[in-house]
Amino acid sequence: MYDAIILAGGQNAEPLRQVSAQPYEAMIDIAGKPMVTFVAEALAACPQVGRIFVVGPARELANCALPPSAVVVEGGRTIVETISRGMAALGHEHKVLVVTADIPLLTPEAIQDFLAQCSRVEADLYYPIVRREYNERYYPGTKRTYVRFREGTYTGGNIFLVNPAIVPRCMAVAERIIANRKNPFKLCCLLGWNFVFKFIFGRLTLAEVEKRVAAMLGITGAVIESRYPELGIDVDKPSDLEMVRSMVSMSMKYEV
């Protein structure tokens, strides 16, 4: 069983500020509930998940209807500081799920599949990717950041399985990777010019990136290919929010 950390401290900035006055992204309303609630409920419904640490604005989060297994922890000023506070709250160094609060379509099935694949390989950090075909099949018209590899075209997920012991020594590089996560070219520049050329000509392989990132961070890493787009459908612009609200509303009608 794994504990989970939800990163819920991100401030609501442009362009989402245009459609929601909430000061924090995690608190943006979807079908009458804060966005973070959907993520917490998906984690709580997964049999492999134990405690859930929701790290962000404690006062605001205290008013959310979170699952009984959820514990609110005051977040930091940056995403890296928020991650550190979540790790400190664990009280152990067993592998932990780290999830962003802006993927409200996340499902227990997607989490279970990700963890099942992670269990087949030993690593310090597991990162999911989803083929473009899956995103466009299940969520047509949704705009995501894609990267073309030799094996295919992928987008990244917003859920990670992490060995807490690696976090302190990885923070400096991790902060640069997080800052450029929406810009594939800049990420390749961090990896080196050889990667830039291979990226431009579509010759970069998943194994090469996996090996290079692991070397940069001084860890072992594993790229997990998932067939669940919900791991990476994040809400970071008005069109995303509109689509998610529509999907949730449709789902609620079917349940009734």
pLDDT for position 256: 46
Say which DSSP state 61 is in: H
Bridge partners (DSSP) of residue 52 are: 4, 70
Instruction: Give me the domains of the chain, ranges plus CATH numbers.
Output: 2-165+219-250 (3.90.550.10)
- Name the helix (H) or strand (E) containing 4: strand 2-7
92: pLDDT strictly greater than 80: yes
**Residue 19: φ, ψ to 5°:** -120, -5
Cβ neighbour number for residue 29 with a 10 Å cutoff? 13
Cβ neighbour number for residue 168 with a 10 Å cutoff? 9
pLDDT for position 148: 87
pLDDT digits (tens, 9 = 90+) for 106-148: 999 999 999 999 999 999 999 999 999 999 999 988 888 888 8
Report how far apart, in Å, the C-alpha atoms of 159 and of each of 6, 17, 70, 120, 129 are. 9, 24, 17, 17, 10
pTM here?
0.89
